[in-house]
Each structure stands twice: as C-alpha cells, then as structure tokens.
A and B are shown apart, each in its own frame.
Chain A
Amino acid sequence: MDNSVEKSHRIRFWLEDPRVRGVVENVADGVIGIDALGYVELFNRAAERLFGYEPGEVMGRNVKMLMPPEYGERHDGFIAHYIATGERRIIGTGREVTGRRKDGTTFPMYLSVGEVTVAGFRGFIGLVHDLTAQKAAEQAISNAREFLQSIIDSMPSALIGVDHEGRITHWNRAAAEDRGLAPGDAVGRAFPELFPFIGLGLADIAGAIRQQYPIKKERVPVPAGGTAHYVDVLLYPLMHDAAGAVVRIDDVTERVRIEEMMVQTEKMMSVGGLAAGMAHEINNPLGILAQGCQNLLRRVSSEVPENLRVAAEFGLDLDEVRAYLRERGFFRFLDGMQEATARATRIVADMLTYSRRSASSFEPVRLNALVDTVLRLADHDYDLKKDFDFRRIAVHRESVGASDEVYCDALAIEQVVLNLLRNAAQAMAGSPATRAPEITLLIADEGDEVRLEVADNGPGMTEEVMRRLFEPFFTTKPVGVGTGLGLSVAYFIVTVQHRGSLEARSAPGQGARFIVRLPRKGSPYGTSGARGR
C-alpha cells in the first residue's frame, strides 16, 4: 500500500526541506522514522551516533537491525498485528527497550513511538533516549545501597533503625536472626514490641531523639532458654535530621562471664592472702582446742596410771566418774568440739591453698593414672562414706585421643578430681531411688590441652546455683557438711595454678557436668616466662 503513496507524503521526502532537516538532525535524542513495513525513512545524526552507523547507512533498511535478534525477528509481525487490529503496545506511549549497535553490542534506551498518517501514508516516528548513563547511575546507587547493607549485615552487633515514634525502619541480619524473624518482618513495628526485654519504651526513644542524647544500657539480661545471656544496648539519635535513631545491641555474655571469673579469682587471691596471714593466728587456738579435747578424754581413762593415783587421792572411782560424765552428755559435747575443730582446720587448710603458687611440684602426669588413684581414694573417703557409699555408684571411664599427659601438680589435681567426685556423689545422694547413680569420667586429648570431664546423672543445678558455684564459702550442703570452699579451691587450682579452665554445665533434672581443661605444658602462676606460654 505504501508503494501507491505519493512520494511527497513519505517521511524521507520531508527531509528535503532544509528547515525540517535542520530541526530533525539537531534533536539531541535519536529520531527514527519507518514506514508501515518497517523500512527506515528517517535516521537522524543522534541516532547514527547512538547506534554507531555512518550517515545514510541505515536508510531504507528494516528497522529490526537496530534490535537484538530475538526481538527484531518478531518486529514485522508486531507492526502487521497493529495495523490489522489497532491494538497498541508501544504506539502513543513509550518504554524501556534494548537497542543494538552496529558492532552488535546492546544498550538500554527509552523509546517512544508516534504514528504518522498523512494522505494514505502510514508510518511511525520513534524517539530514542539513551539510558546508559542513567542506568549506570542507578546501578551505582543500588551497589552503594547493597554495599551499605552488607556492611551493616556483616556487623556482629544487631543494628536497628527507628523513626521518631520508635517504629523500626531498618534492621540488619544480626537483629533479624536474634529475633528469629525474616529481614522484612520488622519494618513498621514498634521497637519495644520486638525487644521488650531491653526496657526501652516509645517515650524513652522519642525523648532521646527530640533532645538528641544517646541512651546506654549495660548488661541487660536476655530471656533465653538455658544459660543466661547479656547484651549492651546503645541508642544514638541520627545526626543530620532528628527524625530517628539507631540502636546497637551487642551480646556481651562472654565478656560478662570473663569479668565474673576475674572477680572470682581476685576474691580467691584476697582470701589466700588473708589466709596466709591468719593461718598462724587461727591454728594456734585450734591447736589448743584440739589437744585440750584429747587431754580431757584421756584424763578420765583408767589406762593412764596417773589418773588412777589422783582419783584414789580424792577417794573417787574413775568408772563412776566416767558414768556420771556420760550421763550428763560430757562426751557428746567433747565430740562436738572435736568435730568443730576438725572442720575449722579444714577451712583454714583450704584457704591456704589460695596462697600456694609453688611450681616445685609440677611434673608430667598421665591423667588416666591420676584418675585411677583418685577413684581408689574415693572408695575409702571417710567424708564420702558418711552420706553415700561411693562403691554403689557406677563409674564409667572413657579416654579419647592419643595422649593424656599434662604437666601439673599431681596432688593438687587429685584434690580437684576428688572434689568433683565427692560433689557428684553428694548430689546424687539426693536423687530419686529410681535412677541408678552414675558418674562418667572422660579424658580427651585436645591438642595443646587435655580435657577431663566429670558428669553425673544427679538432680542438676539451678541457674542461681550455677552462677555462684565457684564462689568461696558458697554451699548448698547442710550446715557443717561443706565448707563452701571445695569448688572454689578446685577452680583456683585449675585456673590460677595451672592456667587451665574449669566450667560447669547443668540444668535442673539434667545432671551436672564439670569440664576441666589443663594445658599440656602447664605454666604455674608467676612463672609464665619459664615455660614459654
């Protein structure tokens, strides 16, 4: 049909008019005119530059050469479809499409198409705007945004952005993981709703933003199953506009634990210093009590000849004297005094351990052999037998790895293991009769360290007890049974004297597990230079 159209009505004819040509050639965007079959009638200079063609090179050829092949192949069909049905896809509007340069490379462009119908001629005029620079800018912005997001996502801290009403606007991966939500689930929700345990209310947040002051909260306990967790929380108002704030939440559980341990160790060191100074002063009166009790008992015995002589002098019968004393509870009181003296003696001796840092007794020790010794001791332990026959407990032994040898003070480590066994036995004495008492002793090679575990299936411990476990004079045993020093002495021996670690894992009803780690090349306190650690 186009063939029948007068030449003067065709687009390319218009360009013969220098005024039209001047306008079209100088439009900054590409201008492309085609006829109803898709043949190029108009291709201005900007279009040539865009697509990389020489002047005149595109004229009269099918416009599909300017498109990626997979689209270009269907272009003739698109025009035919439009002409047949009038159904518009791009005509009259515009959209983003891909252009294809002469060298085959492609670029993003914005194409708007208008229809030309003049006296039987039908064609289309396209205006092409290069989007390369804009796309690059968008990409750069998007990259920057992603980069920033990945920076805040890489932070181990939970970061939460809030608006001036305390509603969450952003949060990072750590924050989402902490709350167990998808990254998108927080936006728009109130901060206190998702982080109630922090104790930052909407009014607090709004106030801090309005007045531009930061809020700092330290060691905030986090409700979590099992062990206690702590976080530090910092809220900073945003700097440039006062429309919001960023909240940083850091898990400081480990730091809190280490600080608690240091406090613990310090406490013990001061107990140690005190004990060394007081030992003499306390031991003397204890000695007086101890030997006084023993002398009192002996002085009513008929086996000492002098007693019989003096009794006779007073006309007394020693058997009658003893009967009287027994009747009046005399011997019970003496027993009580002896027992109390022995207990006080143990306390002073335990406290003295804290002041002992001697390296003289360090030697290579095989832990399995050491445990054998301790188990033999436990079988005959008087303290243990009072409440519980150790031989009734099923003891499982396990040894993992090549070597169980550590450089340590064998006597001190024996004391530690015996203490752990004694605690386990005493704890299990309170277990229900339905559960057979069991202790598992594990020794494991861990390279530079050897791990020794003592686990029982007793009643376990509450978190409160766990927290104070290694504190001097803390005990859960009845008055007179424990000195409250056993575990803290064990802790001191392991961590200070041997530079190892001692930790406990337990929960009510779950039994208890004590884990001792001893460095293979132990370096006793105060001799760190000597063994190079």
Chain B
Amino acid sequence: MAPAVLVVDDEVAICEGLAAFLEDEGMRVHTAHSGEEALSLLATDLPVQVCIIDLRLPGMNGTEAIVEIQRRAPDVRFVIHTGSAPDAVLRELGRVGLQATPIFKKPVCDLTEIAHIVRTLSRSA
C-alpha cells in the first residue's frame, strides 16, 4: 500500500513542495502547519506511517510535538526536516531519546533521498 505521510512545517511552500514531490512518487500526503494542527489531524484517526517534521514551529515546538505524537500514535516514524544548525538539533533530539531519527537539513536539493527514507520507514511502521 502507498505510504501515508504527514508533513508538518509552518512554511506553507515547504509543505506544498514536499507534498507535490511525494505525491508524484505515489504517496498519500497530508500537511499541517503546526504541532497542534498535526495532533488534531491525527486525532481524526488519519492513517499515517511517517511524519516529516520541522523543529522550529509556532506554538509547541517540533520536539514537543514529536513526543506528543509518539504518545498517541506509537507506530509513527519521524523524519526531521530543519534549517537549524545540526549541533543544536542533535542536542535537542538527544534530550528526548530520538538521536537515531533521520535528519535532513534544509535546503534539501534532491528530494529523492527523503522519498527513499520515507518509503523505507513506512515499511517498518
């Protein structure tokens, strides 16, 4: 079955660009522009295997959102897509035990790699 992906980014164009690419790859893609919006989408029993999420978000930040999503939907796998400096990101993820999460640093010039990782993760979800 085609992987279902949730893209969380406050930058609308980033959400749309990623969605367009992944949809062209044959995936089902939903978008949310904040952690809160993501949580309420998931509350509607939206089937999602992989969540591509930014860390700097308005309201609850990315790591808080991840922790909350994990609590409610433990099977969801995450891909970090962020423009922050890698050192800071690793520190933040390490704090919540997510250091093994794949990280993509913006800008990602070739989205094929993200698509590949998403597909791999969705199979293990």
- Please tell me if A280 contacts chain B, counting CB pairs below 8 Å: yes
A295, B56: Cβ atoms under 8 Å? no
A287, B84: Cβ atoms under 8 Å? no
- Bound: A276/B83 CA distance, A: 10
Q: Looking at the complex, which one of B20, B107, B111 makes contact with A286 (CB distance below 8 Å)?
A: B107
Can you list, as one digit per residue, whether each of A212-237 has a CB less than 8 Å from chain B (1) or not (0)? 00000000000000000000000000
B20, A284: Cβ atoms under 8 Å? no
Minimum CB–CB distance for B2 against chain A, Å:
13
Which residues of B are found within 8 Å of A289, using beta-carbon distances? 107
* A291-B105 contact, Cβ under 8 Å, with A279-B83, A284-B83, A356-B87: no
B83, A287: Cβ atoms under 8 Å? yes
* A298-B24 contact, Cβ under 8 Å, with A280-B82, A284-B106, A292-B13: yes
Closest A residue to B55 by CB, please name it: A280
Which residues of B are found within 8 Å of A341, using beta-carbon distances? 107, 109
Q: Looking at the complex, which one of A282, A291, A352 makes contact with B21 (CB distance below 8 Å)?
A: A291
A295, B17: Cβ atoms under 8 Å? yes
Q: Kindly count the residue-residue contacts between A and B in the assembled complex, taking CB atoms under 8 Å apart.
A: 76
Range of interface residues on B (Cβ < 8 Å)? 20 to 34
- Bound: A142/B82 CA distance, A: 81
- Please tell me if B14 contacts chain A, counting CB pairs below 8 Å: yes
Which residues of A are found within 8 Å of B108, using beta-carbon distances? 287, 290-291
100-123 of chain B: CB within 8 A of chain A: 105-111
- Bound: A295/B14 CA distance, A: 12
Which residues of A are found within 8 Å of B106, using beta-carbon distances? 283-284, 286-287
Closest B residue to A301 by CB, please name it: B24
- Bound: A290/B18 CA distance, A: 11
- Please tell me if B85 contacts chain A, counting CB pairs below 8 Å: yes
Can you list, as one digit per residue, whether each of A320-359 has a CB less than 8 Å from chain B (1) or not (0)? 0000000000000000001001100100000010011010
* A294-B110 contact, Cβ under 8 Å, with A288-B13, A299-B24: yes
- Please tell me if A503 contacts chain B, counting CB pairs below 8 Å: no
Considering residues B81, B83, B111, which has the most beta carbons from chain A within 10 angstroms of its beta carbon? B83
- Bound: A392/B77 CA distance, A: 48
- Bound: A292/B11 CA distance, A: 13
A280, B56: Cβ atoms under 8 Å? yes
- Bound: A283/B88 CA distance, A: 15
B110, A345: Cβ atoms under 8 Å? no
Which residues of B are found within 8 Å of A279, using beta-carbon distances? 83-85
- Please tell me if A317 contacts chain B, counting CB pairs below 8 Å: no
- Please tell me if B23 contacts chain A, counting CB pairs below 8 Å: yes
* A342-B11 contact, Cβ under 8 Å, with A282-B83, A291-B18, A294-B21: no
Considering residues B56, B85, B105, B110, which has the most beta carbons from chain A within 10 angstroms of its beta carbon? B85
* A287-B14 contact, Cβ under 8 Å, with A276-B85, A294-B110: yes
B83, A352: Cβ atoms under 8 Å? no
B85, A290: Cβ atoms under 8 Å? no
Chain A contact residue count (CB 8 A cutoff): 29
B87, A295: Cβ atoms under 8 Å? no
Minimum CB–CB distance for B90 against chain A, Å:
9
Which residues of B are found within 8 Å of A282, using beta-carbon distances? 83
- Bound: A288/B9 CA distance, A: 12
- Bound: A281/B107 CA distance, A: 11
* A295-B85 contact, Cβ under 8 Å, with A283-B106, A342-B109: no
Minimum CB–CB distance for B26 against chain A, Å:
8
Closest B residue to A349 by CB, please name it: B105
Can you list, as one digit per residue, whether each of B1-41 has a CB less than 8 Å from chain A (1) or not (0)? 00000000001011001101101100000000000000000
Q: Looking at the complex, which one of A280, A291, A307, A356 makes contact with B14 (CB distance below 8 Å)?
A: A291
Which residues of A are found within 8 Å of B85, using beta-carbon distances? 276, 279, 352, 355-356
Closest A residue to B23 by CB, please name it: A306
Which residues of B are found within 8 Å of A356, using beta-carbon distances? 85, 87
Minimum CB–CB distance for A60 against chain B, Å:
109
- Bound: A270/B107 CA distance, A: 23
Minimum CB–CB distance for A483 against chain B, Å:
16
- Bound: A304/B18 CA distance, A: 16
- Bound: A276/B106 CA distance, A: 14
- Bound: A325/B112 CA distance, A: 23
54-71 of chain A: CB within 8 A of chain B: none
Which residues of B are found within 8 Å of A304, using beta-carbon distances? 24
Minimum CB–CB distance for A277 against chain B, Å:
10
B18, A358: Cβ atoms under 8 Å? no
Considering residues A280, A281, A287, A358, which has the most beta carbons from chain B within 10 angstroms of its beta carbon? A287
Considering residues B20, B81, B82, B107, which has the most beta carbons from chain A within 10 angstroms of its beta carbon? B107
Which residues of A are found within 8 Å of B107, using beta-carbon distances? 283, 286-291, 341, 345
Closest A residue to B104 by CB, please name it: A287
Q: Looking at the complex, which one of B17, B23, B87, B105 makes contact with A283 (CB distance below 8 Å)?
A: B105
- Bound: A312/B83 CA distance, A: 38
Minimum CB–CB distance for B86 against chain A, Å:
8
Minimum CB–CB distance for A493 against chain B, Å:
15
236-281 of chain A: CB within 8 A of chain B: 276, 279-281
- Bound: A494/B35 CA distance, A: 41
Q: Looking at the complex, which one of B21, B84, B87 makes contact with A280 (CB distance below 8 Å)?
A: B84
A291, B111: Cβ atoms under 8 Å? yes
A290, B83: Cβ atoms under 8 Å? no
- Bound: A287/B9 CA distance, A: 12
A292, B21: Cβ atoms under 8 Å? no
- Bound: A352/B105 CA distance, A: 13
Which residues of B are found within 8 Å of A299, using beta-carbon distances? 20, 24
Q: Which residues of B contact A (CB under 8 A)?
A: 11, 13-14, 17-18, 20-21, 23-24, 56, 81-85, 87-88, 105-111
* A-B contact list, 5 entries, CB within 8 Å: A279-B85, A283-B83, A287-B107, A290-B108, A298-B21
Which 8 pairs, one residue from A and one from B, show the smallest C-beta to C-beta distance? Answer: A283-B83, A286-B107, A291-B17, A287-B106, A287-B107, A283-B106, A290-B107, A280-B83
Other A-B contacts than A287-B11, A287-B108, 11 sampled, CB-CB below 8 A, are: A279-B83, A280-B56, A282-B83, A287-B17, A291-B14, A291-B17, A291-B108, A292-B13, A298-B21, A304-B24, A355-B85
